Amino acid sequence: MSKRPYSSETAMYSDVAAWLRERLTIRFPSASVQVADTHNVRLNEYISRHSLHTGFADSSWQTFEIQVDVTGFVVDGKETRLHFVECKLATLSLAHLSQLLGYCRVALPSDAWLLSPAGVGSALKSLVNAYARHDVLEYDWPKRQKPKRVAVARWDADSRSPDPAETLPPGAW
């Protein structure tokens, strides 16, 4: 693999979208799965433009003025579930995590991933692993369920998937 497998973040999107599409299709075999590069459009506009709003419990989707790099839509019956991926070329930092956590707090996706071929930075890795601060990955706390967390990982450009050995929290994949 070359030192820099992608020339830009946008160059990662098609590989990441393919991985997410396969993951969601396997995980939700009876649902309709759509995955899109949504980095250049507000999520609420994309939902409206593609008539995906009928799967939301209320009209809060209209407030989703966020631009997520890659978004998965799992439509099962009358319910639509969101899945987010943010891509970075740089080593993943707390600042990158904060951006995605903000998006997640707004739209409450079922899953969220933060991926970079450069891997996870030492401060973020240390905070989660050495200091057991898994709470910094959390964005939703459903009643009687485990909190939802962002999964942070090194993106392996050769296998076109996250590297399970370099994932926070461990075992998230």
pLDDT digits (tens, 9 = 90+) for 42-61: 999 999 999 999 999 999 99
- In degrees and rounded to multiples of 5, residue 160 shows phi and psi of 55, 50
pTM of structure: 0.94
Q: How far apart are CA 100 and CA 88, in angstroms?
A: 11
Q: What is the mean pLDDT of residues 78-97?
A: 97
pLDDT at 2: 42
Q: What is the mean pLDDT of residues 79-106?
A: 97
pLDDT at 126 over 70: yes
86 three-state secondary structure? strand
Give me the percent of the chain exceeding a pLDDT of 70.
98
Tokens of 29: 């075999």
CA separation (Å) from 125 to 88, 135, 147, 169, 171?
16, 13, 19, 9, 14
Terminal C-alpha separation, the chain: 23
Q: How far apart are CA 15 and CA 173, in angstroms?
A: 17
Handedness of CA 55, 57, 135, 94 (dihedral sign): positive
